[in-house]
């Protein structure tokens, strides 16, 4: 990206778990916090080089995917912690994809190093 005049855009997929030390598996939460830090580091380091490399992240809340079907033996402690953690409505994956499209487009050309929450207001309370 540094070698091309057009630069580039990186859109990372984090989680609201990466913004708050919230419920969920410790490894998952730590990895999402790390991804938020990596996003900010890339934006700060490479965004200064002509401003043509941008890096942002999306922090979704609950999204209607098949992830629950892949967890065959959830830990009881984690299940109990997540029992009341839901946002109410789950996002349709296309709702998150539209945020990614915005961040990858020229419409967000001055957005760099940010984390956009897409959680339906879950973390607003």
- Measured at the alpha carbon of residue 96, what is the angle toward residues 95 and 102, in degrees to the nearest 5? 95
- pLDDT tens digits, one per residue of 17-42: 899 876 667 888 899 999 999 999 99
Domains of the chain (ranges; CATH) run 9-120 (3.40.50.720)
The whole-angstrom separation of Cα 24 and Cα 79 is 8
Asked if 123 and 62 touch (Cβ cutoff 8 Å), the reply is no
Hey, which residues are catalytic here? Answer: 28
- pLDDT tens digits, one per residue of 49-90: 666 899 999 999 888 887 767 777 766 766 665 555 555 688
Give me the mean pLDDT over the 104-124 stretch.
93
Asked if 92 and 64 touch (Cβ cutoff 8 Å), the reply is yes
């Amino acid at each position: 990206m540094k070698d091309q005049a057009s630069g580039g855009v990186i859109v990372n997929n984090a989680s609201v778990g990466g913004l708050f030390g919230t419920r969920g598996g410790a490894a998952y939460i730590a990895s999402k916090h790390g991804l938020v830090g990596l996003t900010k580091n890339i934006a700060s380091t490479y965004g200064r080089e002509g401003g043509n490399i941008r890096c942002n992240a999306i922090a979704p809340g609950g999204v209607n995917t098949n992830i629950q079907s892949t967890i065959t033996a959830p830990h009881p402690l984690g299940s109990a912690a997540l029992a009341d953690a839901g946002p109410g409505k789950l996002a349709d994956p296309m709702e998150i994809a539209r945020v990614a499209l915005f961040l990858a487009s020229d419409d967000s050309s001055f957005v760099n190093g940010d984390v956009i929450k897409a959680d339906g207001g879950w973390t607003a309370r």
